[in-house]
Copies of this chain bind each other. A is one copy, B any other.
């Protein structure tokens, strides 16, 4: 057995089932090992951002790591922006990054670079395998690191000779490394403090992050909210929020600073549950960066890497809400209007169209500002957002979510600017026949930047600046792009056309893209 086979076997033993890959020469032994060690499904991405984004989507939906396979420093580099999102989504991921043979590195061949240095700013755990003998243990340690709370990005660098050398004496991993760390429970005093705050009679907001926005946690939170009158907010960007009919509704903190300040202004206390104290996404001249009003008391009840399920259960008991029945959203589907494709008209259609158990990947940016409010009473679904603010996450994450959940419809709500960072993901959808309906909202500009220009205090946008904000010369033909990548595609110019095409897209099994050209 060579090192690559040993590595793969260990990954399989640790429960890894999928490998998203964009390999090169230094990874050929790993690739060959995929046939020798059965059970790992390999999925090719045409660009590394697809690979890492898919691993993020897979991790968000399964709470298990997929592995990626990337080609030296530049291959890793192309995948880093989606790893940034993944890390802030607490997605477990195990990256395998090929490197030159150990004795070749010192020669500074063209592809040589500081791979560990490149990985470190975007990964929680980084290691270079020392030899073929070390690989099985390294793989187990990487998986354990990825599964350690709250979910981490682990990167194992695989020198080519470690992959091709024969394994002679498997080095057992250190015992401390093979099991994920356990999530810690907060001290009783912290729970008691939260109880005192909620019983104080002062208006209190609970801000939720990490797994606190999953269905079961929200159910308990709904009990607590009903019993205490506390308000539930989700962080602006969460890994995944369970929503729709039958779920406890949670309001998202708005992205715009003024709206966020207004939303939080009524509260005298903020309790953080897997969330951080709320801050502005960007700084703006003459606006605060912190979103809580002066004098508000902030209590960190449980961190994102803490035991959120235990904490919520203990809190519900302590406030006497264990048998409270929470308020949940009731199914209420709007009738989509006809006419122009505008954000206001689109929202009811999105709400009405969502099939039960849909997974929504939302990178609709400005077009979709009202989509979440509109879908609160839609069929139950999961809503996934770009947690790290790195653009181009939508289509790759849709690939991974669809691989993770083949029986659920994935709906990618994509803006034309964002979608153009990694449209190659469409090819993986076609290749794997993934059940993804993508709607691209084409306003043919970076509309968010036009708005942000005003927010940062720029009154006049001149022609040079406009040339960096507009996408209309030439307009991208998304239908042509999608078909070029092998995905069925349609263009809608009216609400009626879009509704008909959505109907088609929802009823087919497999990928489909609709370019909705906004009025």
CB distance from A374 to the nearest CB of B (A): 24
Contact of A74 among B80, B120, B160, B480 (CB under 8 A): B80
**C-alpha gap A73/B85 in the complex (Å):** 11
A20-44: CB near B (< 8 Å → 1, else 0) gives 0101111011011011100010101
Asked if residues B289 and A74 are in contact (CB atoms below 8 Å), the reply is no
* Chain B residues within 8 Å of A462, by CB: 32, 34-36
Asked if residues A110 and B387 are in contact (CB atoms below 8 Å), the reply is yes
CB distance from A296 to the nearest CB of B (A): 16
Asked if residues A110 and B81 are in contact (CB atoms below 8 Å), the reply is no
A445-467: CB near B (< 8 Å → 1, else 0) gives 00011001101111011111101
**C-alpha gap A488/B455 in the complex (Å):** 39
Contact of A110 among B69, B75, B80, B389 (CB under 8 A): B389
Asked if residues A104 and B456 are in contact (CB atoms below 8 Å), the reply is no
* Chain B residues within 8 Å of A49, by CB: 78
A161, CB-defined interface residue at 8 Å: yes
CB distance from A239 to the nearest CB of B (A): 12
Query: Looking at chain A, what size class is its interface with the partner chain?
Result: 35 or more
Asked if residues B483 and A430 are in contact (CB atoms below 8 Å), the reply is no
A494, CB-defined interface residue at 8 Å: no
Contact of A160 among B71, B283, B388, B486 (CB under 8 A): B283
A161 nearest CB neighbor, chain B only? B283
CB distance from A140 to the nearest CB of B (A): 22
With A25-B456, A164-B456, A486-B474 as known contacts, state yes or no: A279 contacts B109, CB within 8 Å. yes
* Chain B residues within 8 Å of A122, by CB: 73, 77, 113, 118
* Chain B residues within 8 Å of A484, by CB: 476-481, 484
Asked if residues A464 and B34 are in contact (CB atoms below 8 Å), the reply is yes
Asked if residues A101 and B283 are in contact (CB atoms below 8 Å), the reply is yes
* Chain B residues within 8 Å of A467, by CB: 42, 44
A163-215 residues at the B interface, CB under 8 angstroms: 164
A36-90 residues at the B interface, CB under 8 angstroms: 36, 40, 42, 44, 46-47, 49, 69, 71-75, 77-78, 80-81, 84-85, 88
Asked if residues A465 and B430 are in contact (CB atoms below 8 Å), the reply is no
**C-alpha gap A109/B473 in the complex (Å):** 34
Asked if residues B84 and A113 are in contact (CB atoms below 8 Å), the reply is yes
Asked if residues A474 and B427 are in contact (CB atoms below 8 Å), the reply is yes
Find the residue from A110, A115, A237 having the highest chain B CB count within 10 A: A110
* Chain B residues within 8 Å of A318, by CB: none
**C-alpha gap A69/B467 in the complex (Å):** 14
Contact of A388 among B110, B290, B424, B457 (CB under 8 A): B110
Asked if residues B84 and A73 are in contact (CB atoms below 8 Å), the reply is yes
With A78-B49, A111-B389, A421-B46 as known contacts, state yes or no: A283 contacts B35, CB within 8 Å. no
CB distance from A424 to the nearest CB of B (A): 6
CB distance from A121 to the nearest CB of B (A): 4
Asked if residues A25 and B452 are in contact (CB atoms below 8 Å), the reply is yes
A69 nearest CB neighbor, chain B only? B468
Asked if residues B84 and A74 are in contact (CB atoms below 8 Å), the reply is yes
A475 nearest CB neighbor, chain B only? B486
- The list of the 4 closest CB pairs from A to B, nearest first, reads A35-B462, A474-B486, A480-B484, A74-B390
Residues of A whose CB lies within 8 Å of any CB of B are: 21, 23-26, 28-29, 31-32, 34-36, 40, 42, 44, 46-47, 49, 69, 71-75, 77-78, 80-81, 84-85, 88, 100-101, 103-104, 107-111, 113-115, 117-118, 120-122, 160-161, 164, 236-237, 276, 279-283, 285, 289-290, 387-392, 417, 420-424, 427, 430-431, 448-449, 452-453, 455-458, 460-465, 467-469, 471, 473-481, 483-486
5 new A-B pairs (CB below 8 Å) besides A75-B390, A164-B285?
A: A35-B460, A78-B81, A104-B279, A474-B485, A481-B484
